[in-house]
Amino acid sequence: MNRNKGVTGPKGFKAAGIAAGIKDSGAPDLALVVNEGPGQAAAGVFTTNQVKAAPVLWSQQVLKERRLRAVVLNSGGANACTGPEGFQDTHATAERVAEVLGVGAIEVAVCSTGLIGERLPMDNVLAGVDKAAQELAGTDRAGLDAATAVMTTDTRPKQVWQEHPGGWSVGGFVKGAGMLSPNMATMLSVITTDAVVDGDALDAALRRVTARTYDRLDVDGGTSTNDTVLVLASGASGVAPAPEEFESVLHAVAQDLVKQLQGDAEGVTKEVSITVNGALSEAEAVVVAKTVAEDNLVKTALFGSDPNWGRIAMAVGRAPATVDQHRLGIAINGVTLFADGHKAADRSAADLSGRDVDIVVDLNLGDGAATVLTTDLSHAYVEENSAYSS
C-alpha cells in the first residue's frame, strides 16, 4: 500500500486538480481524471438515497454502457435538489469535458459535493474544465491534485495505490468527512486500474467490494444525496488478472481508502471498529453493528473514553434483528464486560484512552458476522456541523 500515489499510479491515466472559483475560498475545487486506454471499461455504484443529486442521475445513466473516458468532479456545491436546471448544468459540464477531450459526453461521468440546494456557478465550472484539461498529467502530483480538489471538510487528501507482482495495479482517491454512511454514502471515490478487465466483471467486482468496504463505514448514518464510487480500467498493463486476484487488490485499495475516511471524519477522536458475531445472518450482523455505530449515547461515551457497555447493550436490543439478552456478550478492547446476560469484568478493566477502540458483540445465535467502522461523537463534530453549511 502506497499512499504517495493514487489514480495516476496505474498506467493509462492522467489527472488534474485546479481552482475553478466554485468555492468562495479560492481553494481547489475541480478535478478531472482521464482514461487514455486502450480499454475504457468502467463501473459505478451510487447512493441509495431517494433524493439523488443531478450528477448521480447523469452518471448512473452513462454507466449503463460500462464505459468511461473521463470523470469530472467538483467540490463547492452538491448540485442536489436543483431540479431539471441542475441536471442541465451537469449535462453541460459533461459536454464541455467531451468537447475538450474529443470524446462523447456519454463517456463522461460527473460527481459533485458540497452544499445541497444551490445551483453551481456554471461559468466558473466550464472555464475550470478547460483549465483542468490543459493541466492533465500522468504524474503523482497530478493524481494528488485531483484528490485535493474534491475535498470539502476533509482535512487531507486521501489516496492509495497498490501494485500487483503480475504487472498491473489499482489506485484511487476518496473524499468524505461528514454525511458519511455510504450505502452507497457525499463520499466520492474514483479508482483506476491498468488491468485488463471487462465492464461486466468490473461492475460485479465493484458491487461485491463496496458492499463490504464503503458500505461498512458509518460515521453518522447520513447517506448522502451524491455518494459515488467509480472504477475505470485502462487495460494499459496488457495483463488480464484472474477475477479473484483482481477483486482482492480492489478490495484492499477500497478498504484502505475507507480507513482513511474513518481517520479523517469530522471531529473524530476515536476510530471505532464494531464487530458483531453470532448473528442469524450476515445482514442481521450488519444491522446490529450499524445500530450501535449510529447510537449517540454509545458515541458520546466513546468520546469520553467510557467503556459504557450498557449503552451498547441498549443499542443492540433496539436493532431490528434477532437478539436474546440472555446469550448476549460484549467485549471492548479485548476485555469481556458482559457475557451470557451477566456482567463479567468490571468496566474499569477496559482501557479506552487510545485512539483505536475495538468493540465485539457476540449474539451467540448463529454464524452471521460483520464489522462496521465508525467514530465517536465529539464537541468538534457538533462545532463543525453547526457552523458549516453542507
Binding positions for substrate: 152, 175, 186, 266, 385, 390
Specify the residue for cell string 503480475: 166
Instruction: Work out how close the CB of 357 gets to a second copy at its nearest, in angstroms, rounded to a whole number.
Output: 14
DSSP string, 266-296: TT-S-EEEEEEEEESSHHHHHHHHHHHHT-H
Closest CA to 157 of 50, 271, 282, 17: 17
- Positions touching a second copy (CB under 8 A) are 48-52, 78, 80-83, 115-118, 178-179, 181, 183, 220-225, 294-297, 300-301, 303-304, 306, 308-311, 313-319, 323-326, 328, 337-338, 341-343, 347, 377-379, 381-383, 385-387, 389-390
- Do 198 and 40 touch, CB atoms closer than 8 A? no
State which residue, 80 or 126, has the beta carbon closest to a second copy: 80
Query: Is the peptide bond preceding residue 84 cis, with omega within 30 degrees of 0?
Result: no
Show the cell assigned to 15: 489527472
Out of 82, 148, 186, 225, the active site residue is 186
Show the cell assigned to 101: 477531450
Instruction: Work out how close the CB of 45 gets to a second copy at its nearest, in angstroms, rounded to a whole number.
Output: 16
Instruction: Work out how close the CB of 35 gets to a second copy at its nearest, in angstroms, rounded to a whole number.
Output: 31
Instruction: Work out how close the CB of 295 gets to a second copy at its nearest, in angstroms, rounded to a whole number.
Output: 6
State which residue, 322 or 371, has the beta carbon closest to a second copy: 322
State the Cα–Cα distance between residues 310 and 371, nearest whole angstrom: 20
State which residue, 252 or 345, has the beta carbon closest to a second copy: 345
Is residue 47 annotated as a catalytic residue, yes or no?
Answer: no
State the Cα–Cα distance between residues 368 and 143, nearest whole angstrom: 39
State the Cα–Cα distance between residues 4 and 27, nearest whole angstrom: 21
State which residue, 134 or 325, has the beta carbon closest to a second copy: 325
Active-site residue set: 186
